[in-house]
DNA sequence: TTTTGAGTTGTTCGA
DNA sequence: GTCGAACAACTCAAA
């Protein structure tokens, strides 16, 4: 029986791990390896590195409890994986298949040098398996989700092995000791704990509370999903179990709504897998000539949370502070950048990708293209979120705004989403003088709305005239 | 091949 | 204050 490499990439877990299982089934000894890839690290910020590095330490500990350990190297995986395989005379490399163009190019380059076995696990269903009867990919979410639901899900997840074979003495590096994000203690144990807690409690309220950034109505599992500290299959099974235990229809609807969000992840994975060009340009050709503004100052103010619209600023500051943003607020902040500031969605996409601990090329791109109206199955271009109404609707007491925009702490609830409307004496009383302690709105909502509708109309008509 | 109904997350306007 | 229609066509999926 030969020696195999288990190449860990986005599957930092021992349970329900198809790549690890395959490596064990086909070899006597298995060497768990993670390659720190400078190409990927340089696109992302320190909070994400802190989560990843501490997650690697957790994985290493879990492996050591079982007699194994994690070998960590740094460099270009196309070089490092074959080099390590030669060092330990490995027969094969086992890894969970990833779908980004970069990952696919990388894996092809590795496979050209050594026997690489890719397994499922990134989604609940194998990549490329949710397609129309004629084999072509879906471009609309709803039919995709129907097809997804009709495919059977393997109902027994793979248990974590009790014991693992010892690892030979190989050099391994220790990643930098960066701060670990408070809200996201990394690791498989924490991921499973959160899933269990969510699936036995808040999932039943999910339908009602998921859009409320001022409450804890979401699972807050996205960073764990991104790095595979739990598997989508485990999540779906937990939600289905919760659904079958649901006491009433609204509770069941909560479970279904959450499963739908899991399906969205896989829908966008499917889109990226079948249409990798979406990382470079709009999915819809007629949306490729929008006259974006080149407005570096506005972009900086958006990034800093200084637009003068409280719900937008709260979101951007939450992102900067903790590397995560509530999904509803992601939509509002993204819509604001694209539609109110008329700045290219790709700039926002890059900023989110850099800042988010959970940043995922497929979901992030899908979300931005949806917001910008450039994507498959996207929001209509004339749907311009009103940041005031959105704030009043989803943060009705201003709790979320006050938490992340402390200079508005003392503003009365009536004005919390429109602080510039406060009379002077109230601005003074609240210690929130507009233009001094908190900025004036960077754009007027109605004027910005007119501007973006005209810009989109231009792109559509120029596309039409090209035909 | 043709036809038909549908398509995450909103906003504004006017009755 | 509430309600329905308009916003704008177009592409997709399925019959």
Look up the domain containing A35 and give its range. 3-122
Place of tokens 């080099």: A83
Place of tokens 């293209």: A369
A60, part of any domain: yes
Could you say which nucleotides of strand C lie within 7 A of any protein CB atom? 7-14
Q: ∠ CA A40-A99-A30 to the nearest 5 degrees?
A: 75
A82, part of any domain: yes
Whether the predicted pLDDT of A296 surpasses 70: yes
Model's pTM, two decimal places?
A: 0.97
Residues A267 and A247 in one domain: yes
pLDDT number for residue A224: 98
- pLDDT, one tens digit per residue, over A388-433 is 999 999 999 999 999 999 999 999 999 999 999 999 999 999 999 9
CATH number of A134's domain:
1.25.40.80
Q: What's the DSSP call for residue A257? A: H
Is any atom of nucleic acid chain B found less than 7 Å from the CB of residue A148?
no
Q: Are A462 and A456 spatial neighbours (Cβ–Cβ below 8 Å)?
A: no
A163, part of any domain: no
Q: Are A374 and A282 spatial neighbours (Cβ–Cβ below 8 Å)?
A: yes
Is any atom of nucleic acid chain C found less than 7 Å from the CB of residue A135?
no
Place of tokens 């006259």: A291
Q: How many domains, chain A?
A: 3
Whether the predicted pLDDT of A467 surpasses 50: no
Q: Are A316 and A333 spatial neighbours (Cβ–Cβ below 8 Å)?
A: yes
Q: Is A94 helix (H, G, I), strand (E, B) or coil?
A: strand
User: How many Å does it take to go from CA A419 to C1' B13?
Assistant: 26
Could you say which nucleotides of strand B lie within 7 A of any protein CB atom? 6-12
Whether the predicted pLDDT of A457 surpasses 80: yes
Residues A247 and A224 in one domain: yes
Q: Which of A212, A240, A274 is the last residue of a domain?
A: A274
> Strand B contacts (CB < 7 A) among A residues 421-440?
none
Q: Please state which of the ranges A224-233, A248-257, A375-384 shows the lowest mean pLDDT.
A: A375-384
Q: Which of A274, A299, A318 is the last residue of a domain?
A: A274
Q: Which of A274, A298, A314 is the last residue of a domain?
A: A274
CATH number of A26's domain:
3.40.50.620
pLDDT number for residue A20: 98
pLDDT number for residue A460: 79
With bands split at pLDDT 50, 70 and 90, how would you rate the model's confidence at A1?
low
Residues A128 and A8 in one domain: no
A171, part of any domain: no
Residues A95 and A232 in one domain: no
Residues A292 and A257 in one domain: no
Is any atom of nucleic acid chain B found less than 7 Å from the CB of residue A258?
no
Whether the predicted pLDDT of A74 surpasses 50: yes
Is any atom of nucleic acid chain B found less than 7 Å from the CB of residue A328?
yes
A437, part of any domain: yes
Percent of chain A at pLDDT exceeding 90? 93
Whether the predicted pLDDT of A459 surpasses 90: no
Residue A181: which of A231, A222, A123 has the closest Cα? Answer: A222
User: How many Å does it take to go from CA A15 to C1' C8?
Assistant: 49
Q: Is A200 helix (H, G, I), strand (E, B) or coil?
A: coil
Q: Which nucleotide is nearest to A146 (CA to C1')?
A: C13
User: How many Å does it take to go from CA A264 to C1' C14?
Assistant: 21
Residues A83 and A193 in one domain: no
Is any atom of nucleic acid chain C found less than 7 Å from the CB of residue A138?
yes
pLDDT number for residue A335: 96
Q: Which nucleotide is nearest to A143 (CA to C1')?
A: C13
Residues A65 and A147 in one domain: no
Mean pLDDT along residues A77-101: 97
**HSE on the CB side for A25, CA within 13 Å?**
10
Which secondary-structure segment (H or E) carries A36?
A: strand A29-36
Residues A259 and A310 in one domain: no
A328, part of any domain: yes
Residues A290 and A232 in one domain: no
With bands split at pLDDT 50, 70 and 90, how would you rate the model's confidence at A28?
confident
Dihedral sign (CA A84, A90, A92, A95)? negative
Is any atom of nucleic acid chain C found less than 7 Å from the CB of residue A381?
yes
- pLDDT, one tens digit per residue, over A184-226 is 999 999 999 999 999 999 999 999 999 999 999 999 999 999 9
- Tokens matching residue A179: 């701060």
Report, as residue numbers or ranges, the catalytic residues of A.
261, 264, 292, 327, 345, 368
Is any atom of nucleic acid chain B found less than 7 Å from the CB of residue A261?
yes
A114, part of any domain: yes
- Tokens matching residue A401: 């705004």
d(CA A180, CA A185): 7
Residues A312 and A461 in one domain: yes
Is any atom of nucleic acid chain C found less than 7 Å from the CB of residue A382?
yes
User: How many Å does it take to go from CA A163 to C1' B15?
Assistant: 73
CATH number of A313's domain:
1.10.579.10
Place of tokens 């026997």: A115
With bands split at pLDDT 50, 70 and 90, how would you rate the model's confidence at A462?
confident
Q: Give exposure, A73-110, as e/b (b: 16+ Cβ within 10 Å).
A: beeebbebbbebbeebebebbbbbbbbbeebeebbebb
Q: Please state which of the ranges A244-248, A281-285, A462-466 shows the lowest mean pLDDT.
A: A462-466
- pLDDT, one tens digit per residue, over A148-196 is 999 998 888 999 999 999 999 999 999 999 999 999 999 999 999 999 9
Q: What is the mean pLDDT of chain A?
A: 95
Mean pLDDT along residues A328-353: 97
A70, part of any domain: yes
Whether the predicted pLDDT of A463 surpasses 90: no
User: How many Å does it take to go from CA A142 to C1' B11?
Assistant: 24
Residue nearest to nucleotide B9 (CA to C1'): A328
Residues A218 and A239 in one domain: yes
Is any atom of nucleic acid chain B found less than 7 Å from the CB of residue A141?
yes
User: How many Å does it take to go from CA A290 to C1' B15?
Assistant: 36
Residues A416 and A397 in one domain: yes
């Amino acid at each position: 029986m030969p020696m195999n490499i288990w190449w860990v990439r986005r599957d930092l877990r021992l349970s329900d791990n198809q790549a690890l299982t395959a490596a064990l089934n086909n070899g006597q000894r298995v060497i768990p390896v993670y390659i720190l890839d400078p190409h990927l690290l340089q696109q992302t910020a320190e909070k994400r590195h802190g989560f990843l590095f501490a997650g690697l330490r957790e994985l290493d500990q879990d492996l050591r409890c079982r007699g194994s350990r994690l070998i960590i190297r740094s460099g270009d995986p196309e070089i490092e994986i074959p080099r390590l395989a030669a060092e330990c005379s490995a027969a094969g490399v086992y890894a969970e298949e990833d779908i980004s163009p970069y990952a696919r190019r990388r894996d092809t380059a590795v496979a050209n040098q050594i026997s690489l076995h890719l397994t499922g696990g990134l989604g609940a269903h194998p990549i490329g398996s949710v397609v129309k009867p004629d084999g072509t990919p879906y471009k609309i979410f709803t039919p995709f989700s129907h097809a997804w639901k009709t495919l059977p899900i393997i109902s027994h997840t793979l248990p974590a092995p009790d014991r693992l074979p010892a690892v030979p003495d190989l050099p391994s590096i220790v990643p930098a000791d960066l701060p670990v994000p408070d809200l996201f203690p990394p690791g498989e144990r924490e991921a499973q704990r959160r899933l269990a807690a969510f699936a036995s409690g808040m999932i039943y309220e999910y339908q009602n509370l998921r859009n409320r950034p001022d409450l804890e109505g979401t699972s807050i599992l996205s960073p764990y999903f991104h790095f595979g500290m739990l598997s989508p299959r485990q999540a779906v099974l937990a939600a289905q179990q919760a659904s079958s235990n649901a006491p009433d229809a609204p509770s069941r609807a909560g479970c279904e709504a959450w499963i739908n969000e899991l399906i969205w992840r896989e829908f966008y994975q499917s889109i990226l897998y079948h249409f990798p060009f979406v990382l470079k340009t709009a999915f819809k050709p007629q949306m490729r000539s929008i006259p974006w503004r080149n407005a570096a100052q506005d972009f900086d103010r958006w990034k800093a949370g200084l637009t003068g619209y409280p719900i937008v600023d709260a979101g951007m500051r939450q992102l900067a502070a903790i590397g995560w943003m509530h999904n509803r607020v992601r939509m509002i902040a993204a819509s604001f950048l694209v539609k109110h500031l008329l700045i290219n969605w790709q700039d926002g996409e890059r900023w989110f990708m850099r800042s988010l601990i959970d940043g995922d090329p497929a979901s992030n791109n899908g979300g931005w293209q949806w917001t910008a109206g450039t994507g498959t199955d996207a929001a209509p271009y004339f749907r311009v979120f009103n940041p005031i109404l959105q704030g009043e609707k989803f943060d009705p007491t201003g709790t979320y705004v006050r938490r992340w925009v402390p200079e508005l702490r003392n503003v009365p609830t009536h004005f919390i989403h429109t602080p510039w409307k406060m009379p002077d004496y109230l601005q003074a009383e609240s210690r929130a003088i507009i233009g001094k302690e908190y900025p004036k709105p960077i754009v007027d909502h109605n004027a910005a709305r007119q501007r973006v509708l005209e810009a989109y109309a231009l792109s559509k008509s120029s596309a039409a005239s090209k035909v």
